[in-house]
Structure 1
Amino acid sequence: MEEVREYRALFAVDIVGSSGRGDVALEQIRQVLSAAVHASFTRGGVDWDDCLRHDLGDGMRVVAPAGTPETSLIHPLVHELTARLRAHNVLAGKPTRIRLRMALHAGSVQVGRDGTVSGRPLEVLARLLDAEPVRAALAQAPDATTALLVSEHFHETAVCQGRPGIEPAAFRRVDVREKEFAGSAWLHVPAYGGAPQATGSAPDRMASAPDRTASDADRTASDAGAPAGNTKMISKASGHGVIYALGNGTMNIDGKK
């Protein structure tokens, strides 16, 4: 059967911790994942019907149509997929919650008339999907829904250009050593604030970064000339528009004491 060689963008996902959930839960997860990936490709402007799809059992591989911009597989596709799975997990019970490893690569592959795809780029994609850095990223970031590993080639063509919706600084370079593959790749943990560092304490630092401690608040108040300690604001509005700010004193904005 005649085959043609084409340059294609390649995407793969694998469900974290799928074993041991039971057939019923796994089938529900697969249905949710398939629908979410389909919707995310459509949202990214990629024709789902023209994609070549392969079931991986607890995941899937998608070969995008020839000519698909590689950037579209990151934004909005990866971000859309992450958002959809996060929304699902809010209402899902523990057996059907979904966390994903994701991988992106691109290269010249053999495409058969029956839709079969072969070639070295698929092997690279599989090694990325199963690589230790992306596994460790999710283990170190238990609140993260997805973790993405992109090849050096994909990073050069789709990430480092800084296209809208894609932040190069959110990707961290890592070394990958998996079976016959050895090289560099780039790790990204969407909607988590960046890729966790190799040390175990990094996710804790990132998770706590948005929160300010009481001592931080005291120092800020002191720097501003306000009393530290139990500084507190209570807002109260009435029909006369009275608002009180309480700390060590009272301020009444309508001029009444």
Structure 2
Amino acid sequence: MITPTIFLTHSLIHDELTLKDKNIVIIDVLRATSTMAVALSKGAKEIIPADTVSKAAKIAKGAGNALLCGERSGKIVEGFNLGNSPLEYTEEIVKDKTLVFSTTNGTMSIIKAKYAKSCVLASFLNVDRVLNYLKELNEDFIIICSGKLNNFCIEDAALAGYMIMNLSGNNTDEISINDPERTAEIICKHYLGDKPNPSQDKIFNMFKETEHGKYLAELGFEGDLKFCAELNTYPVLPVIHNGIIKLKESVDKETEKKANMKKVTVAEEGK
């Protein structure tokens, strides 16, 4: 029996070693994991997470032709190229670029998972792709809801609950869950119903009722709420590999290439 574990905010993780050798799913629906899925879909080469603005600037300077991306308190950081709105990440701007990303909540969760066995990013935009990955993995996993300023967020919990319900075939007796997982399931059913594939309108209406959703709307980002409410329109699988976020297909190709090069080297040494 698979045991999923949910942290309803990343602030509940006090020691990064708690996540060592674990399978991790990071959620920051509004907006980091949504925006990162879009950026990679639009052709970004890779995303390097940074926990502070100064560290992001230092990494970008050393990375050459990199774009500084992210926000503080929902707004683009002064001197950054892009904020945290998925609508900013067009193919013309990000294709083949390295993005150095620092946000108030999402990148904090990502960095806490640096010792994980595996780590993927989930949003409503790509949730079914993540679910298929977890089904193939068939191992225990941990979902980290990023939350807002170390506090619980309804939208992250709802997506976590959606994942639990779909993995169990809407029968959570099929998997081993405790109170946080049950809470996420209840939240999902309350806002999105207990049937698969909730409508964009249902997700959008939930966002508009949440504390963080209201805050972003006040900043002028209601269009982001509508966009992030789309279900499975960006079916990509962002994974963290050696501290850098890339598409799983890209990581698999790199791994295969290195393995083939190693075989060639061994063969040549054996001559």
TM superposition score normalised by structure 2: 0.28
- Larger RCO, structure (CA 8 Å, separation 6 or more): 2
Q: Which has the higher helix share?
A: 2
TM superposition score normalised by structure 1: 0.29
Which of 1 and 2 has greater Rg? Answer: 1
